[in-house]
């Protein structure tokens, strides 16, 4: 069905780095990061575990590869946008890419990536900042502040970071009761708001603060 008339599939089921990474991402999506093993992945691909090593440099490189697949899914911002729109589009694109594979997202958010794939998004953020007149040192400063916020927010959203809350409404009742019974006065008073978390609203709130600050920096 796919590629029937176009470029011939050659060996659609031949082993390749690409096919390995796609299957690995599917495995993470289905069973979570902890379930990833070279042997299980090989089983899914119908192949000897050691065959994977012909295309991938080991388990760590495999995980880096998955992270790169996620990063590559961030769309380029519209060319005619101004600085604020560009930054906002990139932040939302980053978020969407992570939420599309929440269980794999920690690979991007917590691993040191050295590859070119990680450099492309940096270029996309830096270019509009420089174009807006930011001196390079301030542009990097701004980039890093926004990135830190994005990473922290998305870690929470993807349920890898401490929140004291979630989105499921029935667990919320139980958490509310726990927080009120904590004996801590401020926690009790704010319990209804600690027990739930509107990730979307938190994201927009923090992003607005940072983009406002960037705007002020550009002017000064």
Nearest in space to 219 (alpha carbons), one of 83, 70, 32: 83
Kindly tell me which residue out of 17, 19, 44, 141 binds a copy of itself, with binding defined by CB under 8 A: 141
Helix, coil or strand: residue 112 = coil
| Contact between 161 and a copy of itself per CB under 8 A | yes
Residues 91-120 that bind a copy of itself (CB under 8 A): 106, 108-114, 116, 118-120
| Contact between 73 and a copy of itself per CB under 8 A | no
Rg of the chain over all Cα atoms, to the nearest angstrom: 21
Token pair for residue 32? 């979570």
| Displacement of CA 66 from its chain's centroid (Å) | 11
Token pair for residue 96? 């969407």
Q: Which is nearer to DNA, 41 or 195 (CB)?
A: 41
Kindly tell me which residue out of 35, 72, 99, 213 binds a copy of itself, with binding defined by CB under 8 A: 213
| Contact between 185 and a copy of itself per CB under 8 A | yes
Q: Which is nearer to a copy of itself, 53 or 149 (CB)?
A: 149
Q: Which is nearer to DNA, 55 or 138 (CB)?
A: 55
State how far the Cα of 13 lies from the Cα of 134, in Å rounded to an integer. 49
């Amino acid at each position: 069905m796919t590629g029937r008339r176009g470029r011939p599939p050659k060996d659609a089921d031949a082993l390749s780095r690409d096919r390995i990474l796609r299957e690995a991402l599917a495995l993470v999506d289905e069973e979570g990061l902890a379930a990833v093993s070279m042997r299980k992945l090989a089983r899914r691909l119908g192949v000897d575990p050691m065959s994977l090593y012909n295309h991938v440099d080991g388990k760590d490189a495999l995980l880096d590869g998955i992270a790169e697949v996620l990063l590559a899914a961030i769309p380029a911002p519209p060319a005619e946008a101004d600085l604020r729109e560009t930054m906002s589009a990139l932040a939302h694109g980053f978020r969407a890419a992570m939420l599309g594979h929440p269980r794999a997202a920690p690979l991007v958010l917590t691993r040191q990536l050295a590859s070119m794939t990680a450099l492309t998004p940096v270029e996309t953020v830096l270019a509009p900042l420089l174009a807006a007149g930011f001196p390079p040192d301030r542009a990097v400063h701004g980039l890093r502040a926004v990135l830190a916020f994005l990473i922290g927010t998305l870690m929470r959203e993807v349920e890898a970071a401490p929140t004291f809350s979630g989105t499921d409404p029935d667990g919320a009742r139980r958490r509310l009761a726990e927080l009120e019974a904590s004996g801590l006065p401020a926690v009790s008073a704010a319990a209804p708001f600690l027990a739930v978390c509107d990730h979307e609203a938190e994201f927009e709130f923090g992003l607005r603060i940072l983009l406002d600050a960037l705007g002020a920096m550009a002017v000064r």
